[in-house]
A and B are shown apart, each in its own frame.
Chain A
Amino acid sequence: MTDVLNLTLVELVEKIKKKDLSSKEITKAYVERSEKSKKLNTYITEDFKNALKKADNFDNSPDFDKKLPGIPIAVKDLFCTKNLRTTAGSKILENFVPTYESTVTNNIWNEGAILLGKLNCDEFAMGSSNETSFFGNVQSPIGEKLVPGGSSGGSASALAAKLTPTTIGTDTGGSIRQPASFTGTVGLKPTYGSCSRYGIVAFASSLDQAGPMTRDVKDCALLFGVISSYDNKDSTSINFKRKNYLKELSKSMKGKKIGIPKEYRLKDMPKEIEKLWQKGIAIAKDSGAEIVDVSLPNTNYALPTYYIVAPAEASSNLARYDGVKYGFRANGKNLIDMYEKTRSEGFGNEVKRRIMIGTYVLSSGYYDAYYLKAQKVRRLIKNDFDEVYKKVDAILTPSTPSSAFKIGEKTDDPVSMYLNDIFTVPINLAGLPAISIPAGHDEKGYPLGLQIIGKAFDEQNILNIAYSLEQEIKFKNKMNDWWM
């Protein structure tokens, strides 16, 4: 059985198609391991019984033309799933059961995959350590009391711990790439507009993108090809020709111009991060890439800009959770009292903090100084990338400024928590695609990731570069199943 768990998604698909494995065997293996891994707290809602039933159904009448035939997959609990509770990690949606399915998950089921359950995440995807979830923090399989990163912490942890063969997350400022980096997995934040946002609980609409989280780059290419689609239910979805990313995946570093932005070299960045970066650069060079020093001068402003734009949108997006129509309601003397009690009790502290920041930066008298200025800076950040992409094909940076930290280590210091996203946030502001791949370990043996940033809609290119690096790095997670 352990063999099944060690197979990649692509390998599982092959085995199923060759009838070496049944959907039931695979699903059972993952359900059993998940049952034994409750200590990690990765699942908010399990759907194991149904999953096993669906696996049986698949085996009884298999369709091997599908891209994910009979593959069990657990997903982040930010995707609305029809008839299965969807909480966004919040008390306010603790008992919310959607009557509809998100487009991204729908795409996955349409390709034959089977839902295992809903994975833990920071409340409304607001967090970098999965410590803000109403359903408790998630532990990383990498080490006890270690955060898996966030907000897609449950997804990263479940993936790394082999509780699901593959998964999907959402990334507003690094919520796929940072946890991928912390758990030694691959995570892709696609170009804004590639994956439909329909049915995904919104955090910051102009930044949110769903993306694959996988064991390796091949899996990532396969899953991205499944979830990316044009959707007329999302006005920001972009209609472009999607490729067969897996089929076109190839090691192609030769002649590629790779940009190294000097602004990503932070003053007090740990040496091991710098070392990791140099290692990546060296491999790229050895594989025939041309390394180009580039400048993204407005990088410094990305984090403050993000922490204006994202909370502003969130403060408005979360206004619908008011106790009137669905979700948690606290009784009140009158409408206002009901609102206040519902939202005070229904939201956690980090969410409240961001709602307050967002409300503040949009309020009259402050709008110009904060929100409007942030929008202008956002444009400058985008322009920086446009300039650099006249000279290079992709940009290589570390994914995070440090490795995973201990649970509770940063919860009292939001700014230090926010600094975790310093390398990932600019990419969301610019709407670009970026992938994080595991590239090494720090002294403690914790994984570290490298980020490859691409031009808009150039996912194939960064997947190819990531694939080349992956082949040379030959990363292996150091994991001892400590929780079992």
Chain B
Amino acid sequence: MRNARARSSATPARGLSRRSLMQSAGGLSIAAAVPLALAGCGTGGGTTGGKTPIRFLYATGDDTWNSVAKAVADAFNAKSATAVVELDPLPAGTDYPTAMKTMDATGNWPALVDMRDTLTYLEAGKLAPIPDSVSGLLNDEVYAPAEDGDVYIVPTTALNGELGFNMVYDKDYFAEHGLAVPTTYAEFTALLDAIKGNGDAPLATAAGEIWPSDQLWKPLAAPTFAQYSEAGGFWNAVRAGDASIEDLREPLQRLKDITDQYVLEGWQSTQDAQTTTLLVNRQAVMSTSSAGIGRLNDVNKVDPDFNAGIFCIPADDGGINVLKDDVNGDSASGFAISSQAEEDGGKEYDAAVEFLEFYYSVDACNLMEEAGMIAPNVKAADEIVRNSTIPGAGDYFALLENPNLKFFQNSTAWAGFSTFHTFFRQARIEMQDGQTTIDECIAKSQEEFDNQAENE
């Protein structure tokens, strides 16, 4: 994937980027010329064949998103006369925010960033406003101005919220055993029982990294969260004292029950991408995912004969509650342009804007669809050629049309939330694993929440 990095023509054949050569030189001559090394390492803002090079930092998640980033960047580089995008992929998960944090410490922000913990960085003045020429290409509901009236973040993909938090399942197995996609939570547990009754493992999930533990939790908690949608979201209600983590007892109980009874052993050390292998190897009938069509695409790549489908875990009343994307606040994610790109006459900023304008063009959207990702909600959506060749993709589009689908909001517009969120995930894994009781999990999470809220 890294070979996608556009190398300048001046780059030596050994695959060294110019930056690293200068770093090397700086390292060797340190005793004699620390200031020289400084000059060599810090700026790196030269031009590449007359074009402005900009870095694009993003979280690698699934293969699909990696190939989208590569395809779009390649197309842009071939087309643009003024800018070159260099891909800078970083592992997702708990380490991505860490990497962003260290990146921030460099004072050497890439011009384009696949943003997390948005508010933290916005408040620290690290982001530049995104101009109307970019946001104007998008449907109005997928972006929103921050407090100061400027837009700082725009979506990387279709804003279908957390609709991608799915169960991926083996359709052939379902057909063979006369099983159907559940329409209520009771049917879902009956389905798990039926598979277990056949002597098979119903569900593979992963907590080897911390973030995939959300894949099972969020659909279970969604009905509770949805109740607070109107009132400004669950976490805001907790902060205001109108709700507490105690209110999550039922979904936590369900999480615990499913883990104890139906989840394939070894989930504690399984990594997200490995659930695909487990599914394809038929070690489990279903697997959790948070990548929607992307995951179906991955499955298809590993085993083209595998007949995969997806569904969402329904609520008791049959509703499918899906978190709507935040277009603002700390949990909003998407493209951001760093304020550092505005320095030195704003060449990098202009290049980043040019790339985003391309990203939201019909041509680029078609590339994304081809690679297996759903293109962002652009105004010209009708002109995009949708990809329906991935097995199971129809299930995803059907979910979008499902009459029981209810989007809810749960924004967390304060910076300390991400700290709490990581803690809460770990505390849940601890509870699922039987190290603590649900009571203890609730108590320690509430304590951490209060601590973090206090620190604001």
Do the two shown chains form a genuine complex with each other? no
B: residues with CB less than 8 A from A are none
A: residues with CB less than 8 A from B are none
